[in-house]
Amino acid sequence: MSLTSPAFEDRIIAVHGQTGQKWLTSLPELQEKLVQRWSLSDIQPIQDLSYNYLAFASIPEYGSVVLKLGVPHQELETEIRALQEFNGNGIVRLLKADSSQGALLLERILPGDNLLSIQDDHESTRIAARLMAKIWKPAPSKFVFPSAGDLCQGFQGYLENNPDNGPLPANLINDAANLAKELLSTSKNQLLLHCDLHHMNILLGENENWVAIDPKGVVGEAAFEVGALMLNPVPNLVHWPDLEEVQEQRLTILAEELRVEQERLAAWSFVWAVLSAVWSLGDGQDWNYRINVAEVLRELI
């Protein structure tokens, strides 16, 4: 019997092709091997999945844990390395891992409410900003993490694949690509960033401490981190009244908390929103949402 839903399986195959299909077929056997290897019990698969299989479990050594399984690939290896580098400082603890199997065993964050549980957007933005500042650390040298510049190569790939103008607005693509070059050329103080730190990836832990999950692990300047937050919550953000004012207030709070120039935060947020549209297009997903947010952010630079 399948451990996952047809929608999840379709996403895995769309991204990983035949490799993903083989992984899905082997998933029940893989889970059973890890249950034995890591002495897991009380397995409770999580139904709402994105691109990785998740299950709650118990283990004598740590109590409640989360088993995370994905198709072995570089991004998952980078996540493992990032978790090791962050070492539980404001971020979920990695208890065990096997990158060759695409397997991670993580502490379970309880009660686990995400940042959307905070109704006041000003408060949630401050919480996110303070967590960013807590987890960042100087870029390590013992493992080569992808960089902000690497991610911005997405613009070049899009332009090469669409020499006669593709589906995305050409003016936004060109503005974001040129701005990214300028920002990268003036970037300083390279840090190891989470790089996907939005509301759904910030959970409430013990003693009312907020904890980040699912780091991408990217090296860049501090201002590069805020783009994911500025795009969220997806897909409701674009329907908020006075969206430009909401985004401007967020940027003001982030600049104050992070001690980063507000214009630079706005610039990277705009670049991130357009990049996200490029990635969405490549994944066969709707990109209009990202473009709508990008148009608002461009007015704030």
Handedness of CA 93, 98, 99, 102 (dihedral sign): negative
Alpha carbon 124 to chain centroid, angstroms: 17
- What is the location of CATH 3.30.200.20 in the chain? 6-107
* CATH no. of 6-107: 3.30.200.20
* pLDDT (0 to 100) of residue 77: 95
| pTM to 2 decimal places | 0.95
Nearest-5° angle of CA 34, CA 38, CA 42?
80
As a dihedral over the C-alpha atoms of residue 244, residue 259, residue 124, residue 273, rounded to 10 degrees, the angle is 50
Helix axes 262-282, 288-298, angle to 10 degrees: 160
Q: Cα–Cα distance between 82 and 66 in angstroms, integer?
A: 17
Tokens representing 151 are: 């991610």
232: CB partners within 8 A, 6+ apart:
198, 199, 200
**pLDDT 10s per residue in the chain (301 long)?**
568 888 899 989 988 999 999 999 999 999 999 999 999 999 999 988 888 999 999 999 999 999 999 999 999 999 999 999 999 999 999 999 999 999 999 999 999 999 999 999 999 999 999 999 999 999 998 788 999 999 999 999 999 999 888 999 999 999 999 999 999 999 999 999 999 999 999 999 999 999 999 999 999 999 999 999 999 999 899 999 999 999 999 999 999 999 999 999 999 999 999 999 999 998 888 899 999 999 999 999 9
CB contact burial 151-179 (16+ within 10 A = b; e otherwise): bbebbeebbeeeeeeeebbeebbebbbeb
Q: Cα–Cα distance between 6 and 20 in angstroms, integer?
A: 13
Q: 115-298: what fold?
A: Aminoglycoside 3'-phosphotransferase; Chain: A, domain 2 (3.90.1200)
- What is the location of CATH 3.90.1200.10 in the chain? 115-298
Q: Which residue has tokens 């899009």? A: 158
